Copies of this chain bind each other. A is one copy, B any other.
């Protein structure tokens, strides 16, 4: 059996290695259009930023490794330029010689990845405008940053080499993962960075009120942020410097521009082979990663996958799923019954000292789908015991099914302890956990690492309080009609208070119930919603209609313009 794998990074390389392990006799050919296989593309921004100093660190396994240890044919700078499904052949172009050869396959695996989007804007090919996809891309950016000029290498984007002054100002276009990582790394290198984003938020997987905190954090770290403004074009000013022109007409000077608008699945070969594509433009595969042609499989950023929580088709260009899909294809080709369970969209991003992570469904996605059977809570627990040094506040948005308590999604921000919590939530979602399970989860605790009630337990407990009817909640976007009661202590109100709210500190509440209306819904405020929970219990048991405002004053700070 001969298997040809097109694309030698994450999904393709995983598939090749596992194929060999499962079948010593299989004839395997892996081709990669670029100069390197199995390189760490997730590390590229950090190589640009300098925390990964050596380019060679990014080269996880070489062509030679694949040839020697996996006894397979592996060719770099070799591009698949055609497929004939009738005679089961692939046309391969050797970029060194220009020669095109034809290879037969029994099974074909497509792992072409996704290409950075480069809209045909005026000036987009000016020197100094880069995408970040490959090792040569990173090399060009580093050279440009070091010298203000660069050799054109590989398939990078810019077409001319031109001496400019050493870059001081950078514009990053696009506020997704790559954009944010590039922002951090360029700041790390000492550049002034402007981030331009067409949408009203950075980090699209986050809900906007959570993204807002990320945006403020970036601004606090000196990043200039331009939301709600797409890029209209680029031009070279009279002094030779580059300018980024936005839809609103603003001009942002830039010594270097990073395009990180997003990626689109590489589907040229799939189209050539007549494979079915999905509505989102990725290659359609079944749960065994088989395309509409039974002898062709596809994996990684080029395919559409089912969202594990919502069941919707989605594009998730992440390394973890790509690697697992590669393994699954190898299994299936070797006659095993492996299947891909779908993608939860678990992801994480470092930004300065902070970490942004999410897993499962967001409110945005659920709302788009018309799903109303969910509730959300905001939590602000310490990353570890507050009395142990270094505890930082976590911001958690937690979503769960109203009807059955199923955990749907979590978004976690903070400067400490984020990965621990997002992975607990991710595992919970995978295993169909309910909030009642999270209440009882036995997670590790010692003062440097957590609390006796971990933030994950805490999320379960708060959610369970809601679903059991112990604590009705509401949110800041729906407080207009209620009677506002603030149970904080007067010194706290002096710092920030909500106009129109009656203040009764919690310890006085039982004695002052007479001051509260019995005919209105009382919406209760404190700092983080904990004391308000106690107050809610007191009021409910005394016959009042009461709701806790989830997240208290802390969640109020997510509002676009808190009064």
Q: Given A42-B385, A320-B442, 13 other A-B contacts at CB below 8 A?
A: A21-B533, A42-B452, A43-B387, A46-B447, A52-B447, A58-B387, A324-B439, A324-B440, A346-B444, A347-B444, A350-B449, A426-B442, A427-B443
Instruction: Determine the distance from Cα of A542 to Cα of B443 in the docked complex, in whole angstroms.
Output: 45
Select from chain B the residue with minimum beta-carbon distance to A71. Answer: B510
Instruction: Determine the distance from Cα of A347 to Cα of B452 in the docked complex, in whole angstroms.
Output: 11
Instruction: Determine the distance from Cα of A38 to Cα of B563 in the docked complex, in whole angstroms.
Output: 37
Instruction: Determine the distance from Cα of A437 to Cα of B181 in the docked complex, in whole angstroms.
Output: 31
Distance in Å: Cβ of A312 to nearest Cβ of chain B: 16
What are the interface flags for A319-337 relative to B under an 8 Å C-beta threshold, 1 for contact and 0 otherwise? 1111110000000000000
Instruction: Determine the distance from Cα of A440 to Cα of B426 in the docked complex, in whole angstroms.
Output: 11
User: Which residues of A are interface residues toward B (Cβ below 8 A)?
Assistant: 10, 20-25, 40, 42-43, 46, 51-52, 57-58, 60, 68-71, 177, 181, 308, 318-324, 340-341, 343-350, 355, 357, 359, 385, 387-389, 417, 419-420, 422-424, 426-428, 430-433, 437, 439-450, 452-454, 456-457, 470, 506-507, 510, 531, 533-534, 537-538, 541-542
A423 B444 Cβ-Cβ under 8 A: yes
Instruction: Determine the distance from Cα of A112 to Cα of B72 in the docked complex, in whole angstroms.
Output: 66
Residue among B21, B22, B318, B417 making CB contact with A445, cutoff 8 Å: B318
A46 B428 Cβ-Cβ under 8 A: no
B387 A40 Cβ-Cβ under 8 A: yes
Instruction: Determine the distance from Cα of A446 to Cα of B176 in the docked complex, in whole angstroms.
Output: 13
Number of copies: 2
Instruction: Determine the distance from Cα of A56 to Cα of B385 in the docked complex, in whole angstroms.
Output: 14
A40 B437 Cβ-Cβ under 8 A: no
B24 A419 Cβ-Cβ under 8 A: no
Q: Assuming A424-B424, A447-B40, A452-B319, is B440 touching A69 (CB within 8 A)?
A: no
Distance in Å: Cβ of A400 to nearest Cβ of chain B: 16
Instruction: Determine the distance from Cα of A22 to Cα of B21 in the docked complex, in whole angstroms.
Output: 58
9 pairs, CB–CB < 8 Å, chain A vs chain B = A20-B537, A22-B537, A68-B506, A69-B534, A308-B442, A345-B442, A423-B423, A424-B427, A430-B441
